[in-house]
């Protein structure tokens, strides 16, 4: 992986807000950072994609365990949210 320095876009706040990322800054400065980007090899992309897919399926397994074991209260999931989750 190679790290490249970049000049942040002057309108980055508007750009990220236009796609729904409204939490881009906090009291200590921006959370969103365009001062660098990363160049990945095909093998690195494949490795990251494999890890992301494994994590995705682990999350599905965890959600299924919550439903199967009725762990709503244990995870402080409001009762009102349960029907939406079960749809």
- Helix, strand or coil, per DSSP, at residue 75: coil
pTM for the model stands at 0.66
Q: Are residues 47 and 20 part of one domain? A: no
- Helix, strand or coil, per DSSP, at residue 5: strand
Q: What's the total number of domains in the chain? A: 2
How far apart CA 10 and CA 34 sit, in angstroms, is 10
Has residue 60 got a pLDDT over 90?
Answer: yes
Q: Are residues 46 and 74 part of one domain? A: yes
Q: Are residues 46 and 87 part of one domain? A: yes
Q: Are residues 47 and 31 part of one domain? A: no
Q: Using pLDDT thresholds of 50, 70 and 90, give the confidence band for residue 32.
A: confident
How far apart CA 52 and CA 59 sit, in angstroms, is 10
Give the domain range for residue 49: 42-87
Question: What is the pLDDT, as a whole number, of residue 78?
Answer: 96
Region 42-48: mean pLDDT is 98
High-pLDDT (> 90) share of the chain, %: 85
Q: Are residues 32 and 19 part of one domain? A: yes
Q: How far is CA 4 from CA 13, 32, 39, 63, 77, in A?
A: 21, 16, 8, 38, 42
Mean pLDDT of the residues in the chain = 95
Q: Are residues 79 and 58 part of one domain? A: yes
Q: Are residues 49 and 26 part of one domain? A: no
């Amino acid at each position: 992986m190679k790290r490249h320095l970049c000049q942040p876009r002057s309108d980055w706040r508007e750009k990220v807000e236009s796609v729904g990322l409204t939490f881009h800054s906090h009291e200590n400065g921006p959370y969103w950072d365009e001062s660098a980007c990363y160049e990945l090899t095909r093998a690195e992309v494949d490795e990251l994609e494999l890890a992301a897919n494994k994590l995705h399926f682990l999350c599905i397994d965890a959600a299924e365990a919550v439903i199967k074991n009725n762990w709503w209260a244990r995870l402080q999931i409001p009762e009102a949210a349960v029907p939406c989750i079960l749809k």
